[in-house]
Homo-oligomer: A and B are copies of this chain.
């Protein structure tokens, strides 16, 4: 009997292994990252007329068919980073059947892989102590909903009694409370920075910035809806004005440092916009502010006291207790010009900030990088 069980397991296992052995001559994993940082892709599609590889940083590349019907492509050496890709088989977008690691961006899914090296080691799960990550439901009386956030507590939190600073980390339009954990690899970034002594242990709170939803698509009563940028309430002040509900919950349920020097807030795109206005409206709450490719101005039809009198609010916010105001953006970002205007406004008022300009545009490659640069500056 036991023999049958074992044979059944082994047969399934053999099937799994054989697909990859066929593609890469015995090597495991898909794609294959070589020692020189070139990367080989292979997909078996004997009946296909055309197969393309779509890497996240490049135009689609036509793959070449071998005599066994396996389509192949090997890249130039790639910089150490996290990469996404998919295939296009006879015009149909296809995830790699041999790679289970899939990342979602709004309504698009792609496979992922790492090219190992200094920058990508921030993003990988390494042999270091790991923090816990929890999906936490909290009441938001201000918007009248029970909502979900993700909370990272650093390794050691459960064993000790000490209080920790809190970093509120906000997603962009089309994102949700899971975005920084998945696309941003935030738990790995924090685990590694803390283990390497480059960042202090901190709690990271990742709320859902779309006040018309309870939780990420698929995790609330809307069911398996297609994720979208469209929201009934969108950058109109509700999230900012309900933010104290989140802070109240966190300060009540976690061992937090409950003062300005123990709180940071940052976000990407819409989350940068949220961070700008939350911190400007609560000038005594945040010692550290980060705007990653931030949207700056509300829409013309939006009227909320949250967005009124910005310059006056900034004049209050920029004082000796504001330890860091950090602005990062890529030179090709479609928000570059509005960020330039915002920096000019800060300059005119004599407000001091840190500015980091990178290559690239409005993309996760930059936001992950900004996270690795911003976190080491906090709470020191």
Q: Residues of A with Cβ closer than 8 Å to B? A: 1-2, 4-6, 8-10, 12-13, 16-17, 20, 28-30, 43-50, 89-95, 97-102, 104, 106-109, 112-114, 124-127, 129-137, 146, 148, 155, 158, 173-174, 215, 217-221, 223-230, 253, 295-300, 334-335, 337-338, 341
- In the assembled complex, the CB of A189 is this many whole angstroms from the nearest CB of chain B, namely 14
Cβ-closest chain B residue relative to A97: B93
A1-B338 contact in complex given A29-B226, A226-B20, C-beta closer than 8 Å = yes
Least Cβ distance of A99 to chain B in Å?
8
- Taking A44-B92, A98-B107 as known contacts, 9 extra A-B pairs with beta carbons closer than 8 A to each other, sorted by chain A number, are A9-B173, A47-B91, A99-B226, A100-B218, A102-B102, A102-B109, A130-B146, A132-B134, A134-B134
Residues of the B chain whose Cβ atoms lie less than 8 Å from the Cβ of A129: 137, 146
For A124, list chain B residues within 8 Å (CB): 223
CB pair A226–B295 under 8 Å, yes or no, is no
Q: Which B residues are in CB contact (< 8 Å) with A13?
A: 174, 228-230
B-side contacts of A215, CB under 8 Å: 125, 130
Task: Give the residue of B16, B125, B224 whose beta carbon is less than 8 angstroms from that of A29.
Answer: B224
Q: List 19 A-B contacts (CB under 8 A).
A: A2-B295, A2-B338, A6-B299, A9-B174, A16-B107, A16-B226, A28-B225, A29-B225, A47-B90, A47-B92, A89-B89, A93-B97, A100-B104, A100-B107, A114-B223, A124-B223, A125-B218, A129-B137, A130-B148
Which residue of B20, B98, B125, B334 contacts A5 across the interface (Cβ within 8 Å)?
B334
Q: Closest CB of chain B to A237's CB: distance in Å?
A: 15
Known: A29-B225, A226-B28. A89 touches B100 (CB 8 A): no
Q: Is the interface of A mostly helix, strand, loop or mixed?
A: loop
Task: Evaluate contact between A5 and B90: CB separation under 8 angstroms.
Answer: no
Q: Which residues of B are found within 8 Å of A299, using beta-carbon distances? A: 2, 6
Least Cβ–Cβ distance between A114 and chain B, in angstroms: 7
Say yes or no: B137 contacts A135, CB within 8 Å: no
| Residues of chain B lying within 8 A (CB to CB) of residue A127 | 221
Please name all residues of chain B whose beta carbon is closer than 8 Å to the beta carbon of A8 when the two chains form the complex: 334
Q: Cβ of A17: which chain B residues have Cβ within 8 Å of it?
A: 228
Kindly list chain B residues whose C-beta atoms are within 8 Å of the C-beta of A99.
224, 226
Q: Which residue of B lies closest to A127 (CB)?
A: B221
10 shortest A-B CB distances, which residue pairs?
A134-B134, A47-B90, A13-B229, A127-B221, A1-B338, A16-B107, A93-B97, A47-B91, A45-B92, A9-B229
Q: Chain B: which residue is nearest A336 at the CB level?
A: B1
Residues on B with C-beta less than 8 A from A95 are 94-95, 109
A1 engages B48 (CB within 8 Å): no
Q: Chain B residues with Cβ under 8 A from A126's Cβ?
A: 221
Closest CB in chain B relative to A91 CB, distance in Å? 5
Report yes or no: A1 in contact with B125, Cβ–Cβ below 8 A: no
State the CA gap A17–B124 with chains docked (Å). Answer: 33
Report yes or no: B91 in contact with A45, Cβ–Cβ below 8 A: yes
Q: Select from chain B the residue with minimum beta-carbon distance to A46.
A: B91
